[in-house]
Amino acid sequence: MTALRATGVERTFRHASGPVPVLRGVDLEVAAGELVTLSGPSGSGKSALLAVLAGFDRADAGTVELAGEVLTSPPPWKVCALLPQALGLAGELTLAENVALPIRLGRAGGSLDRVTELLEELGVGELADRYPGEVSFGQQQRAALARAVIGEPRVLLADEPTAHLDQRTGPTAVHVLRRAADAGAAVLVATHHDEVHRAADRTLVLDRGRISVG
Ligand SMILES: Nc1ncnc2c1ncn2[C@@H]1O[C@H](COP(=O)(O)OP(=O)(O)OP(=O)(O)O)[C@@H](O)[C@H]1O
Ligand SMILES: [Mg+2]
């Protein structure tokens, strides 16, 4: 079953220096249970695409369907979670509070019991009571991953989730993403890392605003 479908998605940023066309008709599908990686050079539009798919940004043309429903505004928070490239942790909340936040706001399903478990699995359990400004960027990234997966969304979008991780923590993050797919989520991961591509079922390439391989 297709859990994520984009059809003819276009996005042009209106910049003072002129229009910046980034997405020029993106078509893609990710099935429930699939882990798909999204590759493409820096600046090719991977983050722009994930933001549109998550409903954080609006396409100029085209449609996005999540779990069979056309994406609306506000987006269906419980269906889809995005781990943004810039992480987006709230600086005034501890790592544990950040991970719990989507559940506490009613924007994700899942159990608060898993907050500690997920942080421990990702190797930041001892840092649960620290604020993002008191831990490294890679440690923040692992907390942001925990926040994205805790609600067990049907569609999980992760933007370079291993960018700041090392040889020990990277594979754990990949394992958490793979497990989400194996549990039935449609998982789309923008990445430059081979270890993530190797764990994927297939790879899509974003090239000049369109999917060129997939
Ligand atoms: N608000 C904006 N206004 C104008 N141009 C923008 C804006 N946001 C992004 N862009 C441009 O859109 C293009 C795509 O950016 P995007 O961040 O999606 O790339 P990316 O593929 O995720 O790159 P990276 O691998 O470096 O993360 C870039 O050329 C960028 O400069
Ligand atoms: Mg990016």
CATH number of the domain within which 154 lies: 3.40.50.300
pLDDT at 141: 97
Phi, psi (degrees; rounded to nearest 5) at 210:
-135, 165
Question: How many domains would you assign to the chain?
Answer: 1
In Å, what is the CA distance from 55 to each residue of 23, 49, 98, 171?
A: 15, 10, 20, 28
Closest ligand to residue 46's CA? 1
Question: CA-CA distance, 33 to 171, in Å (whole number)?
Answer: 19
Model confidence at 184: pLDDT above 90? yes
Whether ligand 1 lies within 6 angstroms of the CB of 15 is answered as yes
pTM over cut 0.85: yes
pLDDT at 66: 96
What is the domain range of residue 17?
2-213
Model confidence at 168: pLDDT above 70? yes
pLDDT at 182: 98
- How far is ligand 1, taken at its centre, from the CA of residue 156, in Å? 21
Mind listing the pLDDT tens digit for each residue in 116-135? 999 999 999 999 999 999 99
Model confidence at 214: pLDDT above 80? no
pLDDT-derived band of residue 31, with 50, 70 and 90 as boundaries? Answer: very high
Strands 2-15 and 18-31: antiparallel
Task: Over range 35-46, report the average pLDDT.
Answer: 97
Question: CA-CA distance, 41 to 116, in Å (whole number)?
Answer: 36
Whether ligand 1 lies within 6 angstroms of the CB of 85 is answered as yes
Whether ligand 1 lies within 6 angstroms of the CB of 46 is answered as yes
Tokens for 165, please give them: 């991780």
Mean pLDDT of the chain, nearest integer: 96
